[in-house]
Amino acid sequence: MKPDETEPLRLDDAIIVDEIGLKSGGYGLYRLRSQYQPIFEGRGRNLHMVAVEGTVTPFVAGEVAPPEMFRIAVTEDDRDFVARMGIALALRNQHNLEVEGLDLIVSARFDENDHGAPGDRVAFIAGELAEHEPELEFEAGQVFCAFAHTGIPEGLELAGLARQCRELGLRIAIGDFGAGHWTDEQIGMLDPDIVRIDGGWFHQVCRDATTVRLFDSVVSRLRDRRCKVLVSGIATEQQLGVALRAGGHLFQGDHLALPAHAGVAVDDNPLSIAQRLGDARKIVPLFG
């Protein structure tokens, strides 16, 4: 991991660049590789890729390692370092997708093991953008700092965190909405640009006609706040139909596109809504 335990880990020492410019991160036996899952927006008869969510996958000896095994391997003192490495890799590798104009959602969550001030993670994202701007080929306004409620420390002033993001030119996304975590007051303080519907809750909603109607009202309330609603975890035709009928803005899930590792060609051609709905077309009236 580090040759001298008295020396702090340095990000640039841990990031490895291969012969074609792909970056990966080294941590002990593990190699962290960037992957991106497309996010789509409905436009007329099609879904268009407008963003990606950047994460990392741990590998050992060229094989994917179970995420839980990797989490256990990361020491408490190194968790913030590894999280920052994941952010850096997501930012520095996106141009390798070779699709221009895409927004990027990257986790800026905090947890009880983070060290330093809560705003450090946001400042780190802005610093990465400033330092590597020529090679990144996108601007701060295309980056969404994603916060999960379970990672917000008690007592954190959310309005101040939101103000910091805006002043740095970054935008805000919140996750796990619908699972009973976020309050109206918290959403008001953060004023997010994107609200991601909790995938587990959404899957439960889709099982019953009554809860589907409840979902419609939830999306309507979020739209009234001028938030873009991201429905993630879409795995079936029926779930896509529910998300479209409710008026979601953005859509993500394996039914639409699988995550792709940096360096793998990404198909950015529009997806036909009718084809992706299949037998579920009766759930949502298409095309106005």
Q: What's the farthest any 2 CA atoms get from each other in the chain?
A: 64
- Confidence (pLDDT) at 108: 84
What's the pTM value of the predicted model, to 2 decimals? 0.91
- Gap between the Cα atoms of 15 and 18, Å rounded: 10
- Confidence (pLDDT) at 4: 46
- Confidence (pLDDT) at 115: 47
Q: Report percent pLDDT > 90 for the chain.
A: 63
For 34-283, CATH gives 3.20.20.450
Domain boundary assignment for the chain? 34-283
Q: Which residues of the chain have pLDDT under 50?
A: 1-4, 6-7, 115-116, 287-288
- Confidence (pLDDT) at 142: 96
Report residue 86 CA to chain centroid gap: 12
Q: Are 165 and 192 in contact (CB under 8 A)?
A: no
Q: Two tokens at 277?
A: 């709905």
List Cβ neighbours of 48 (8 Å cut-off, separation of 6 or more).
40, 41, 42, 270, 271
pLDDT 10s digits, 23-51: 999 999 999 999 999 999 999 999 999 99
Q: Are 25 and 250 in contact (CB under 8 A)?
A: no
